[in-house]
Structure 1
């Protein structure tokens, strides 16, 4: 079960400009944190226990290896190590390889990215496990590194985005840069694969060879304890509910020319709904990623009863190693035609959110090039499904969402979305999965679980859209954790408290009602101030706050008795507390694109731009912010946000 959650939630009745309260009961309502109980409701996913593997069968060659520094000039094939290859004879195993890992024992090198490792199986399959990754100076000393496709994080790189990520004893996913690696004979020549899953399905018995080279001058190293190869069962594959489609659209605003209908302006966002890393590897044990069809996950679209389009997301999109979704992390697929027709009919949200150095282009640079950029990849009346196999197998369906016209049970859950023909209006809108207590809602009913948001808050093709914005989120990539990735949801580890514990939740400075009219606040503003503390255990290098409950314009109107609030920017400011001390509230900026001329709403996000890779929020440190809400109509309201923080992995 999920532990108790403390989510920032506010409930208060706004008084009108005349100062009259709406009712005695409403007038005494307080702004209080909402505590989510441990009970799991039907609207909340059950948290599965951590996955554990059985004990591995291991074989070791403990002969030390000297990693000789490459001479100057260094040949293209590098300098072979003192034991080349280092062999391990495997015998007595039954069955085929399901999961194999390699441990380097006592690894030392002044510049680890100079070291290349090539593993060759008894049958001759060959995979580069590490090359041009591992970071640089000051190097590593006598660490033990295990390379496993199911590792929690990739081997750190030397790029700017990974500055500060240590390379220490632990388990990592293989990582490599480029396809130009060469190993001197007797190592087999390229082409190579770049995952350990490349060995799935073959007989493990026989001699496995590890080839180690140094491919740059100036630094050398050693492997004092040799190496170990381990064979094990694959981890339990993800099940339905572990992976969720959390946001999507089949067309958007488009770009120039003005006649563009936005039909290629598409994206699909998925979410790891567990507390464990999930590797995008075919769920079928023994699946062979070296075969022509490969192994991976299937993203498919259906119309009516028939699947009409699909793509297989391979377990590795390049030589940079296996793809994985971190705990509570996202993965984004976006349509980005390289030669769009009509010109400019492209994905418009690649730079969301601006101002933080974090983008929402497709995760791991996934780009779809539809056969016709004028109509996009997915049809408007689509049913979307994600399968944890390269084939559309019902037993391995992870999640689905579709319009009401979809009749194939694998491509829709419960009652479908409306209208039957899909949203065909161009604009900055998307279907967003609702949050319940700060976690994605998954009742098995698409109509109940998803809401349409739009920057106009109008009616689109007969559907009343809530004022808000699309907010596609991508996950960290192999080569850059902090410059092209999205913050992770942090439900319990970035808790909110009153900015001033000496005052009540409805009194200054914790809450201030200002009657001065502003743009998108005809009746003034309400300012809610809170303190957030980093309890993640790691430095936070990007922090934002996503709105998941707010009363605002819906279908062009506001329900009677409900407030109409708009999320606005807030400035950096000094706030005096009741004990006369002061704190600095940091500025919050509404993130774009999409432009939100009417103010922010549901699914809008606010960035705390002062927190960056060079000025992180340390573990245990706190920050103070103000949520500045424009009041267009007064009335009762509840305002909920989730803090999303990106941490540099340990």
Structure 2
């Protein structure tokens, strides 16, 4: 679709790749409380991206572990959204310098009931939590099962990785650190172009002369529609969920919202995988 007297093209969001190469060492656990990585959490700064998140993948580089099943990793975004990348793999075979990427769009599902090769043998996998365990503070509680939990969030800011040895098991390392691949939606809005009588619009906008989503248009915008009688109208005001609540009622309300969102995301799955997803979602607090 052509813009107002100009040309049009598809608007695209941004793509960014970021890595923290600091090695992480995780102490052995003799059956006591979880032991945490040498840097806990490990931080990674993301900047320069416009729009909101549409896809996130995370990669652990250089995993070396003897019997890696106690390894757990939690990813937390700048807005506090958090997802368990892995927890309690069923595979107990030794791992040496493996690299694993977690991508819910293209990754391989891990069967918790069998000792099939998991992250230890390199490749791309769905996030999974075969043996959920609480990550020690300052890690947040109430974890999501899928990376889509970051969709719609602001990408820029500090991302954090919490790694731990959740139960009885030997020490391990993630020698190459970790990395993120972030994709975003197009930014939205309109702004004056070089000429005072020309405008450029991108993405979707609330301005009355904005083009449809995904179209870049240039040209002279039509005048805005007249205000309704008696002045401008902003329409009905929606009260945000949990507004006015405090203390325990606020925490319960937020937990209910997290459960509702997680349950909705389970609709993409079928059969046993949906059942596992629903089970994890209903545990969110």
TM-score range, shorter chain: 0.5 to 0.7
Equivalent position SS for 1:83? coil
From the two aligned structures, give the one with the greater helix fraction: 2
Equivalent position SS for 2:261? coil
Residue aligning to 2:43: 87
Equivalent position SS for 2:69? helix
Matched, 1:142 2:63: no
Partner Cα distance (1:56, 1:95) in 2:
11
Q: Give 1:111 shift.
A: 2.0
Match of 1:114 among 55, 59, 70: 70
CA contact (8 A) 1:93 1:204 kept: yes
Partner Cα distance (1:92, 1:314) in 2:
31
Residue aligning to 1:316: 266
Alignment of 1:436-455 (within 5 A): none
Report the number of matched residues: 195
Equivalent position SS for 1:364? helix
Partner Cα distance (1:120, 1:90) in 2:
13
Residue aligning to 1:185: 137
Q: Give 1:218 shift.
A: 3.1
CA contact (8 A) 1:111 1:220 kept: no
Partner Cα distance (1:120, 1:164) in 2:
26
Match of 1:294 among 261, 265, 269: 261
Equivalent position SS for 2:149? helix
Alignment of 1:450-461 (within 5 A): none
CA contact (8 A) 1:120 1:126 kept: yes
Residue aligning to 2:163: 212
Per-residue CA deviations over 1:48-97 (Å, capped at 9, x if unaligned) read: xxxxxx99411110000012111x2311xx10111111000111110001
Partner Cα distance (1:123, 1:91) in 2:
14
CA contact (8 A) 1:155 1:167 kept: no
Matched, 1:176 2:94: no
Q: Give 1:152 shift.
A: 3.3
Residue aligning to 2:272: 364
Residue aligning to 1:61: 20
CA contact (8 A) 2:52 2:184 kept: no
Partner Cα distance (1:113, 1:125) in 2:
25
Q: Give 1:127 shift.
A: 1.6
**Residues 62 and 314 of structure 1: CA distance in aligned 2, closer, same or farther (over 3 Å):** same
Partner Cα distance (1:208, 1:105) in 2:
17
CA contact (8 A) 1:151 1:171 kept: yes
Equivalent position SS for 2:39? coil
Residue aligning to 1:503: none
Partner Cα distance (2:25, 2:119) in 1:
23
Residue aligning to 1:154: 109
CA contact (8 A) 1:156 1:167 kept: no
Partner Cα distance (2:52, 2:14) in 1:
17
CA contact (8 A) 1:134 1:167 kept: no
**Residues 193 and 104 of structure 1: CA distance in aligned 2, closer, same or farther (over 3 Å):** same
Q: Give 1:291 shift.
A: 5.7
Partner Cα distance (2:109, 2:26) in 1:
22
Per-residue CA deviations over 1:349-374 (Å, capped at 9, x if unaligned) read: xxxxxxxxxxxxxx11768xxxxxxx
**Residues 196 and 163 of structure 1: CA distance in aligned 2, closer, same or farther (over 3 Å):** closer
RMSD of Structure 2 on Structure 1 (CA): 3.0
Unaligned runs of 5+ residues in structure 2 are 1-12, 186-256, 278-285
Per-residue CA deviations over 1:570-595 (Å, capped at 9, x if unaligned) read: xxxxxxxxxxxxxxxxxxxxxxxxxx
Partner Cα distance (1:196, 1:314) in 2:
14
Q: Give 1:316 shift.
A: 3.1
- TM-score, with length taken from structure 1: 0.28
Match of 2:60 among 104, 122, 125: 104
**Residues 170 and 365 of structure 1: CA distance in aligned 2, closer, same or farther (over 3 Å):** closer
Alignment of 1:272-283 (within 5 A): none
Equivalent position SS for 1:294? helix
Partner Cα distance (1:115, 1:207) in 2:
23
Partner Cα distance (1:132, 1:218) in 2:
11
Specify the structure having the higher radius of gyration (Cα): 1
Partner Cα distance (1:66, 1:205) in 2:
27
Unaligned runs of 5+ residues in structure 1 are 1-53, 235-289, 296-312, 324-330, 332-362, 368-476, 479-650
Equivalent position SS for 1:73? coil
CA contact (8 A) 1:87 1:208 kept: yes
Work out which structure has the larger RCO, using CA pairs closer than 8 Å and 6 or more positions apart in sequence: 2
From the two aligned structures, give the one with the greater strand fraction: 1
